[in-house]
Structure 1
Amino acid sequence: MPSPSSFALPEPAFAAAAVPTREALLDVAARLFVERGTERVALADIAAGAGLELRVLRDHFASREHLLLALQQRFVEGFRVRLHDAMDRCRPNDWPARLRAWVQSAVEGYLDQVALHDVVFHDLRTHDRHAMQENPVIDQLVELLEGGIAARVWAAPDPRLTAVIFFTAMHSAVDRVIACGEPQDRQRLVQTLIGYFERSVQWWARF
């Protein structure tokens, strides 16, 4: 008489491959975009890189543009978290230290990820005037400025406009360093920006 184990179903010849997570798909897309540029990467290339059929990838991202927008959103959120963590290492009410931490982390975060940044923001060739009003990183800076203003450490008549100016200045200063091909003296750049920002919010206190 056969033993019970002899009635067990045979193992399948090939185990079903696990479908990559959304984050894993974005990782593959980011790598290919940085290596080749967005114009030279199709959804089929990303599907192949992830070991998927194209139709499966399309279940997650309908087009290359949708995928790039998802990478943009992930980049912005990761950047925001990086700045938040840097500020959280300072005392809650030490507003000058928190501002310096924001600037230091913003400069380093941009320079550390410049290739990916340029792919997902510059190569997409989109221009949205609402971006400065709907940017979580600027919202974060507004909150920081409002905290310092409420504590009477700083003064600024329009915290959001000030935050937009600060964010734009940081972005442009880093772009200049990259464009000029100069050796990156990160600390000098950080100190220049901090001096500019601190003088700006202290200047208004005279009125």
Structure 2
Amino acid sequence: SFGSAARLFGPEILSIAPTPDLTWFAYPAARALFAAQRSDAALQWLGLARAQGLTDQAAAATAMALAPLARLSRQDEQPLAALLAGWRKTRAALPAADIGQRRDVVLLCLLAAQGERVPSEEWLGLLDNQNGAGGLSRPVLSQLLRLATEEARLGETVAFALAGFGDLSKADPILLYQGLVGLRRLGLEADARAIAIEAALANGI
């Protein structure tokens, strides 16, 4: 997976200094470092893209494309509407351009699961293009997860959350949201954040 490869090559990427002549490398470098849970280093590449973006449209697009990962790492404070608008505007010109709306749904669910107040208008118009969760009925699993979380049953919450996540590249965004919220409510915030970043990367965000 991308996350495994990023962790494997993370040390090599960390050894590369983010200099203006390597602005073209900012996008893959930052994504790999976010995946390796080195947001401190990833932010240096994002900072480079933002600085170069003042005079370079491609660099500006890179910065806007990376903004959601920075937000999930609690390292971006721009208005959410501006972040989403910039991301949607630029992502089509970047590697693995999305042709549907799955990434929109996944990103909004990930942001909401991390405590963001996602305005209702951001959800409007999104298609319900989702996959099942490991053969389990989505409504049944959703209710089991909700009850386990409300009754603070940690083991069951973790088990149901993992069942809902399944393959993160195909995870049902709603179950992904519920699972991450459940983990956060029961004190596993760091784990939830790591999974959120991995899910974002698995979906090409």
Query: TM bucket by the smaller chain?
Result: under 0.3
TM-score (ref. length: structure 1): 0.27
